[in-house]
Structure 1
Amino acid sequence: MRKILVVGAGQSGLQLALGLQQHGYEVTLMSNRTADEIRSGRVMSTQCMFHTALQHERDLGLNFWESQAPNIDGVGVSVAGPDGSRPVDWVGKLDGYAQSVDQRLKMAGWMETFSQRGGQLVIHGAAVSDLDYFARSYDLVLVSAGKGELVSMFGRDADRSPYDAPQRALAVAYVHGLGPRPEHPEFDAVRCNLVPGVGELFIMPTLTLSGRADILFWEGVPGGPLDVFNGVRDPGEHLAITLDLMKRFLPWEHDRATQVELTDANGTLAGRYAPTVRNPVGRLPSGGAVLGVADVVVANDPITGQGSNSAAKCAAAYLASIVEHGDRPFDEAWMRSTFDRYWETARHVTKWTNAMLAPPPEHVLNLIGAAGQFPPIADRFVNAFDNPADLENFFYDPARNEAYIAEVAGAAQASGA
């Protein structure tokens, strides 16, 4: 029986460990926190997962909360005018619903499941020296802990990392009591509110420890009016600042947030990081090689909501590569080809995310505007959250963009719509 060590108990690490376990591998999972510590800790992300990523969980029978989490049936885009108006405001329908499950709930539950199924769980904050020692006992070491010393083993890929500094200041609040959008009270949608030159507010329904809730997520341009959460430690103050900014820049969203309260004292999070692609193979002091997983090697800004989706897709790709490899050694060449398999999807995410962090070119503004006129454009755009590869066909290139809008407009005119 082949022995595999997975370091890090997030979406990718746990999904991969549970998948390997199902395929008969002897898996050790290393986490710096227990399930109870995760469950009682601070929120970790916004984790809106779209159809493909959810299907990877279903394929492994890990969709424990699917019947409880609210179904997200669409994604809406609003653009704020300087006078508090909404010159752009539309919603597109997803082909398959999305869901968000608080990672405190999911990761704690998955970790307990891993142990119950006979997996070896080691609660230990791993350093490079620890891995150097442990690696000799395993056929493969996978590093999915995206922060701390271990990441330093994986060098930055400058060609794939155009930014060397954070492009957004991030601030998250989990709340109860948010009212529905009056325009579409009949279904749940992620709401993407764009404030040109200032940042973005994303609002999405989620399932948390105390049931149904909503996430208020500001992404602020560094140094701008939204970059005010650094050093805020009091959760109540964090929420008050969040709401004040909504009132100032997005009054239509503030109008439905007058009765909100935090889900719990750990329901806020703030921080920033530079989007980075890294070399997938890390070298240990003794010369051994380890393979980086998910955001260890591809860390994108959350502006396109791809973090947990990419983690699930990475875990699925790596699992398939490991199983297909049979009893052959997991050498560096295999590690690089395994990462390349994941990069086939991840490269589209990185390209899109980096594009969205920059001021939008005119043809993208035209596309966002046209989506408000033509529902097929809105629907196609929002389904790119599930499949970012489709953006190559209509988003980046001005000529393709113009041709696509003209095609949809012509079809609408011909049908009399």
Structure 2
Amino acid sequence: MPDIAIVGAGISGLHLALRLQQAGVTTTLYAERTAEEVAAGRPLSLPVRFGRTRQRERELGVTHWDGAENDTQGVNLVGPAGSGIGFYGALDAPASGVDLRFYLPRLTADYRERGGRVEVLRPEAAEIDRVSRDHDLVVVASGRTASTGLFPRDPDRSPYDEPQRVLTAGLFHGIAPTDPGWIHFQVTEAGEIFSTRILTADGPVHGMVVEALPGGPLEQLASYDHLEDPAGFEKTLLGLVADHAPELRERISDGEFAIRRPGDVIQGGLTPVVRRGWTTLPSGRVALALGDAWVVNDPLTGQGANLGSACAFELAELIAADGPFDTAFAERAAERLWRIAEPVVAWSNLNIGPPPEHLGEIFAAASADRRVADAFVTNFNHPAAMWQAIRSPEAARSWLEEVTKAG
């Protein structure tokens, strides 16, 4: 039976570790920080886990947050003022948002309780090479390894060399819930604004993500010192939401709106990138890239955690069934994983580029026909189907005809 090192204890690394554990494969999980440090730290991201990821969690036996009170049933998309675009679409399976500082320590505990071994490791090239000598294969699922050069950028799959959005995200009190629970998805000429319910260790709050086009009015949030002047940051954010997402603003209480706790804000930008999927370490062992070590997408389509989970399950199946873990295995694994990642990368890159006319046509059709709205929103849970629907004007027309004919 093989012995696998997994470097990185995010969703990708933990889902892989738990899945291999179920298959009887020996693993060691190397985390950058202890679970206690993760729980007490700054927010990592605000992922929404769609239905297929939640099904994988059920298969892993980590359904700690199942329950209607934690479900997100759909997406409410609102276009720019005067566009006539606005619709609610239902998902085919409920989604869920859980603070990673709550989620990751719980899954780490599950892994430990089932006999898994966790060690703290700095994700540096020399350290990864060192631990590789004690294992048959290394899977690197830590985005912090990007600076090591282990997995260089793949230029053929990475059309951008700088962030296409300037991001501000945070957890907030004072946003009224909806019934049914939904993701508010505001499209504006200055960028996008999202909000949805996020469960934290202290109970439910709302997460908000502002995706600002560089140079636009929403960009100022990313440089505002929210620790030095939280009241000023909250006032500025409320003003921008009022201007660009008035429907969301109506759900916010002036007297209750506040950052959940000091530091619960993320600011910056992500450069979308696909890196090489594997490398041979000085030890002679193969290292595979997974999760943020391999693919980083802009969070606009909400697929990061979901893609990481899907790839973790696929890789677990390959590891449990295949070997030896040489370069031929690495090439097969990289090819199989790219089949899953390619439509997600293409969809994300299309959305953060100049607005395609045919996507606007889908939004307009969804605003007039609930069947189209539901079919479009359901595809957030089926990214390969989403890409097939929006990849070209011809594909969009064919998809719309199919949806409306289906009745």
Bucket of the pairwise TM-score, normalised by the shorter protein: over 0.9
Q: Identify the residue that residue 102 of structure 2 maps to in structure 1.
A: 105
After superposition, what is the alpha-carbon deviation per residue over 1:290-310, rounded to whole angstroms, capped at 9, x for unaligned?
010122111111000001100
Residue 292 of structure 1: aligned partner: 289
Q: Does 1:18 align with 2:11?
A: no
d(CA) in 1 for partners of 2:303, 2:72: 15
Shift of 1:64: 1.5
- What secondary structure does 1:132 align onto? helix
> 1:94 is matched by which residue type in structure 2?
L
What is the correspondence of 1:202-221 to structure 2 with a 5 Å cutoff?
A: 202-221=194-213
In structure 2, the CA distance between the partners of 1:407 and 1:26, relative to structure 1 (3 Å rule), is: closer
Report how far residue 116 of structure 1 moved: 2.5
Task: Name the residue aligned to 1:77.
Answer: 77
| CA distance in structure 2 between the aligned counterparts of 1:69 and 1:27, rounded to whole angstroms | 35
> Matches of 2:297 and 2:56 in 1, distance apart?
20
Q: Which 10-residue stretch deviates more, 118-127 or 135-144? A: 118-127
Partner secondary structure for residue 70 of structure 2: coil
On the 8 A contact 1:69/1:100 being kept in 2, the answer is no
Q: Does 1:232 align with 2:251?
A: no
Give how far 1:161 is off. Answer: 0.8
Alignment correspondent of 2:349: 354
Q: CA RMSD in A?
A: 2.0
Q: What corresponds to 1:195 in structure 2? A: 188
Contact 1:277–1:299 at 8 Å: present in 2 too?
Answer: yes
**Percent of paired sites with the same residue:** 33
Residue 125 (structure 1) shift: 1.5
- The whole-number CA distance in structure 1 between the counterparts of 2:401 and 2:61 is 44
Residue 29 and residue 75 in structure 1: after superposition, are their counterparts in 2 closer, same or farther (change >3 A)?
same
Cα deviation, residue 4, structure 1: 1.1
CA 1:336 to 1:150, structure 2 compared with 1: closer, same or farther past 3 Å? farther
User: 2:148 and 2:164 mapped to 1: Cα distance?
Assistant: 20
Counterparts of 2:88 and 2:383, CA distance in 1: 18
TM-score (normalised: structure 2) = 0.93
Which secondary structure state, in structure 1, belongs to the residue aligned with residue 194 of structure 2? strand
SS in 2 for 1:213: strand
Q: Does 1:333 align with 2:328?
A: yes
| Counterpart-to-counterpart distance in 2, 1:75 and 1:144 | 29
Contact 1:71–1:188 (CA under 8 A) maintained in structure 2: yes
Distance in 1, Cα, partners of 2:108 & 2:398: 49
> Residue 22 of structure 1 aligns to which amino acid in structure 2?
Q
CA deviation digits over 1:18-42, x for unaligned, max 9? 2222222222111121111111111
Q: Which residue does the alignment assign to 2:139?
A: 142
Q: How does 1:380-395 map to 2 (within 5 A)?
A: 380-395=375-390
CA distance in 2, matches of 1:136, 1:7: 14
In the alignment, the residues of structure 1 paired with residue 111 and residue 316 of structure 2 have an alpha-carbon distance, to the nearest angstrom, of 16
CA distance in 2, matches of 1:65, 1:37: 22
Cα deviation code 1:81-140 (max 9, x no counterpart): 2xxx56211110111111111110010111122222222211232311111211111011
Instruction: Indicate whether 1:154 and 2:146 are aligned.
Output: no
User: What's the counterpart of residue 377 of structure 1?
Assistant: 372
Are 1:129 and 2:129 an aligned pair? no
Measured in 2, the distance between the counterparts of 1:410 and 1:281 equals 44
Shift of 1:144: 0.4
Change (3 A) 1:31 1:400: closer
Match of 2:3 in 1: 3
Q: Distance in 1 between matches of 2:233 and 2:346?
A: 32
Secondary structure (helix, strand or coil) at the match of 2:86 reads: strand
Q: Corresponding residue for 1:415? A: none
Shift of 1:288: 3.5
Specify whether residues 351 and 317 from structure 1 end up closer, same or farther in structure 2 by C-alpha distance, changes over 3 A only: same
> In 2, distance between residues paired with 1:406 and 1:138?
52
Distance 1:40-1:150 versus aligned 2 partners, 3 A rule: same
In the other structure, the counterpart of 2:274 is 277
Structure 2: which 5+ runs fail to align? Answer: none
Residues 73 and 96 of structure 1 are in contact (CA less than 8 Å); yes or no, is this contact kept in structure 2? yes
Distance 2:399 2:18 in 1: 42
SS in 2 for 1:163: coil
Q: Structure 1 stretch 288-297 or stretch 67-76: which is displaced more?
A: 67-76
* 1:368 alignment partner in structure 2: 363
Question: Is the Cα contact below 8 Å between 1:281 and 1:290 reproduced in 2?
Answer: yes
After superposition, residues 2-81 of structure 1 pair within 5 angstroms as 2-67=2-67, 70-81=70-81
- 2:236 is the alignment partner of 1:241: yes
Name 1:115's counterpart in structure 2.
Answer: 112
Pair 1:398–1:231, CA change in 2 (3 A): closer
Alignment pair present for 1:176 and 2:185: no
> What pairs up with 1:253-264 in 2 under 5 angstroms?
253-258=248-253, 259-264=256-261
Q: CA deviation at 1:286?
A: 4.3
1:376-415 residue pairs with structure 2 within 5 A?
376-406=371-401
Alpha-carbon displacement from aligned partner over 1:37-63 (angstroms, at most 9, x marks no partner): 111111111110111111111111012
**Is 1:12–1:311's contact at 8 Å kept on the other side of the alignment?**
yes
TM-score by length of 1: 0.91
